[in-house]
Amino acid sequence: MPGFKSNLVSLHEDVINDTSDLNEMKISDEKGSVEKRTMTLIEKNGYHDSVYMNAAKIFQGIHTEKSKDKILVRYGDGSVTPMVTFKDEYSQRVSYGLAFNALKYQDLLEEMLLDSCVYPCHSIPEELTSLLVVMLYDLQDRKFRPRGVFDEEEPVPEVRKIECYLYRFKTKLAAALARCRIKHDALSIENLLPEAIREQQQRTSALPLYVWINTFKISLEDVFGDLKNKGFTRVQSVSDFDCYTYCMDQHCPDVLVFPSSVKEELLNLDLFADCKLLLQDKSRSLAVHSAQALLNTGDDIIVAHVGSPLTIAHMSALTIRNTSNIFVCGVKSSAKADELGNLFSHMECKNIRLLHEDFTEIGSTDPRLENVRVILLLPQCSGLGVGNPIDFIVNEHGDAGFLRDFFRGSVSEDKLNVLAERQLNELMHAMKFNKVQAIVYCTCSLYPEENELVVKKALESEVLEENKVQPYRLIPPIFSTCSNSVASTEIFFKIEPSEVCSGCFLAVLEREKESPENMSDEDILARAAAKGLLDGTLAEKSKKKKKKQPKVTQRRRNIAGAEFLHHQTLSNIKAELSVSKAVSNIQLRSMNGTNCRVELKKSLHPLSDAALPGAPKYTVQDRQTLARKARTERKRMETKTVDIVFPSAVAPHTPHGNSPKTSSQHCCHAAKAAGGRMFPPPKVVKPAVPRAVGDRMFPLPKVVKPAVPSHPRPWM
C-alpha cells in the first residue's frame, strides 16, 4: 500500500506539472532554404464566460442519458432546449468543441466528480451540472492551472461560481484522474475512449485541408506565386506531403490541398484574410463543379438550401463567365439577407439572388426562374460521412444533435425515416420544373436510404406521373472539362470517409436529350457557345438573338417540322440513288464472279434536285414512313465496312461502254450492315449510266433496312 500511494503521489505531480513552456520550433523546407519559420505553441488559457455558458447549454441537449438504475449524476430537466447565441464564429466553434469533448469524455468526467467527492454538492443545482462537467473538462485540459483573465467581457456569476468551486478541489480531482488512468493503464485520456472513437479522431486530425480559389479576387498563377514566396512547395499528390507543401485536387481544378499540420499558419495568411482562399470540405466543391459542368451560356441555377455561404460563393465564382444567375432559397429574415449580402459583397460575388421562400414553397412556373436549367440540391442529411463534425455544424448551420449522432456513429431509425422522406419530397419537387434540364443531388450521408434509394424512388414516381416533358435519367458526374480526374463510369459517385477525404454521395439527373430536329437554332448556338465552339463575336450574337427572339408558337413549330420532314425525305431519296449507282458500277467489276469489298464514304458529287425525276415514285405516306424510320435508324446505326456479294454469272457485253440491263430478279447483292444482317438493294428505275468506278468509296446510305428478299439466292 505505501508503494501504491507513492505512485499515486508521483503521478499526481506529473499531472499537475506536465505543462510545456512556450517553445519555438525552427522548420526548414525541403530545399534547405535559408528562410525558416517560427511556430509557437501557445499555452491554453481558457475561454470567455459566454463560451462556457453556451457549451453547457449545448451539452445539456446532447449528453448521454443513462438508464434510471445507473444514473449517478443528474443534469436536471432537459425537455426544453435552451437558446444559444454566439458573439462570432470563433465563439461558436469553441463552444461546440467544448460540448463535443465533454460528450466524448462524459463517463470519465462523471467518475472524477464521484471519486473525488466533489459531486453531489448541495450548493450547485442540477441545472448547473452541465456547466460543471464542461468546465471540469477544460480544467484538466489546462493541466489544472488557473484560467487567464478576460476583462473585456462582463462576467457571468454562474461561471465564476463553478470555476471557484472546481479550483478549490483541483488536487482531489487530479488524483481522481490519476487513479482512473492507472485503473485502465492509460497513458493519456485519449486511450480511455473506445477504439472506434479513437480512429475517428485520428482521421479528423489527419484530414487534409481543402481550399478553393476565389477567382473574383486572384488568379491561379498569382496564388502559386504567393505560396512560393511564403515557402510552400507544390507536389504531385497527397502522398508526397511533407510539412509546407500542397498539391492540386484531382477532381476540382481550382481546389488546393494542404496537410493538416499547417492549418493555423495557413489561416493566418493574407490570402485567407482577404477571402482569396476559402477553406471548405471537398464534398461541397464536388457538388458545385458537377453543377457548373451542366450549364450553358445564359442558364440560371437554383441552390435549394442556404447551407454554407461558401458553397454559394464558389458557385458564383464558377458561373460568372456564363452570365448565369444563382437563386438561393430559404433566406427567411432581412437580417440574414443583410449578413449574406455583406459577405458576398466582400467576396465580390455579383450574380447571386436571394429568395425568402423555402425551395418546396416555390412554384415550378415562377416567372423569376424562367431561365433556370439546373438545380443544386444539398438537403439536410445525417452527415455521418463528414470528417470534422465541428466544421460541418458551423459551416452548414447544423443542429447540435448531429454531435450525438456522430459520436454514436449511427442515427435512430425514426430520424433517418424523417430525413429520407424530406429529401425525397425536395427531389420530386425539383423534378416538377419543366424547363430544368439537370439536377445535382449531394449528401454527406453513408445510408443508402438517403442516397441511392431516394434517387430511385424519385425516378419511379416520375414514370408513374407520365409528364409530357422529357423524363430524367442518371448520368455519371462531370466535375470539370479541365479536370485531371479520370472520367467516371459509375452512375453514382461515392467517396468513403478516410484520412484523405470526407465521405459523400453525388448523383446527377439529366433530362433525356431531344432530337436535333426538335431543337431551335438558338438552343443549338447557345450550347455551342457554352462549349467554346464559337468565337466571341458569334457567341455574343447568338446570345443577343436568343434574348430578342420571341416565343415560337405551336403552329410555327409544326411548319418547321414539316419542312424538316420534306428535306429529310429528299435526302433519303438522294442516298438511295447514290447507292443504286454504286451497285451498278460495282457490277461491271464483278463479271468474273469475284467478291468486292468497298468501304463506304461520303459521295464527292451529290445529286442535285434536278436529278430527282429519275427516282422511284414515292407517295407522301411512303416518304413520311421512310423519314420516321430513318431518324430512328440513324441513332443506332454505326458506319462499318460493307461486304457486297454477287452471284457467279457473266453478263453479256454491250458496246459503247453501256452497262448491261440487269433486273432485280437476276442480279442480287447483300449488304452487311450493323448486326451482320443481309439487305437487298433499293429498287432502281433505269439508273443513269455511271462513270468508271475504279476504287471509288461510297457513303453509307441513311435509309432504313428493308425486309430480307424472298427471291432465290443461288450463291447461298
**What is the pTM assigned to this prediction?**
0.67
Give the residue-averaged pLDDT of 491-518: 87
Q: Would you call 252 a catalytic residue per the annotation?
A: no
Distance CA 217, CA 316 (A): 13
Distance CA 188, CA 181 (A): 7
Closest CA to 141 of 166, 120, 124, 123: 166
* Confidence category of residue 467, pLDDT binned at 50, 70, 90: low
pLDDT per residue as tens digits for the range 659-681: 444 444 444 444 444 444 455 55
What's residue 225's pLDDT? Answer: 96
What's residue 418's pLDDT? Answer: 96
Angle at 57 between CA 54 and CA 60, to 5 degrees: 150
| Cβ partners under 8 Å of residue 159, min gap 6 | 49, 52, 53, 131, 135
Which residue reads 528562410 in cell numbers? 35
Distance CA 71, CA 461 (A): 48
Report whether 37 contacts 56 (CB < 8 A): no
- Cα distances (Å, whole numbers) of residue 608 to 216, 563, 584: 55, 18, 20
Catalytic residue among 329, 444, 501, 504: 444
Report whether 644 contacts 681 (CB < 8 A): no
Tell me: cis bond preceding 82? Omega within 30 of 0 counts: no
Domain boundaries, the chain: 49-193, 281-511
The class (CATH top level) of 281-511 is alpha beta
Report whether 102 contacts 58 (CB < 8 A): no
Contacts 24+ apart (CB under 8 A), 140-144: 140/112, 140/173, 140/174, 140/177, 140/189, 141/44, 141/101, 142/44, 142/45, 142/46, 143/15, 143/16, 143/17, 143/18, 143/19, 144/15, 144/16, 144/170, 144/173, 144/174
User: Which has more pLDDT, 636 or 283?
Assistant: 283
User: Residue 383 in 3-state DSSP?
Assistant: coil
User: Which has more pLDDT, 269 or 28?
Assistant: 269
Distance CA 426, CA 438 (A): 14
* Confidence category of residue 33, pLDDT binned at 50, 70, 90: very low
Cell of 357: 421562400
Among the ranges given (13-22, 375-384, 538-547), the one the predictor scored with the smallest mean pLDDT: 13-22
pLDDT per residue as tens digits for the range 318-355: 998 888 999 999 999 999 999 999 999 999 999 999 99
Distance CA 405, CA 393 (A): 12
pLDDT per residue as tens digits for the range 387-428: 999 999 998 877 899 999 999 999 999 999 999 999 999 999
pLDDT per residue as tens digits for the range 595-618: 434 333 334 444 444 444 444 555
Beta-strand relationship, 245-248 and 233-234:
parallel
- For residue 474, which phi and psi values (nearest 5 degrees)? -85, 135
Annotated binding site: which residue ranges? 358
Task: Identify the sign of the CA torsion 253, 259, 260, 261.
Answer: negative
Q: How high does pLDDT run on average in the chain?
A: 76
Which residue reads 460541418 in cell numbers? 392
Cell of 191: 486511450
pLDDT per residue as tens digits for the range 140-159: 999 999 998 766 678 999 99
Annotated binding site for S-adenosyl-L-methionine: which residue ranges? 358
User: Residue 363 in 3-state DSSP?
Assistant: coil
pLDDT at 556 over 50: no
Beta-strand relationship, 472-475 and 504-511:
antiparallel
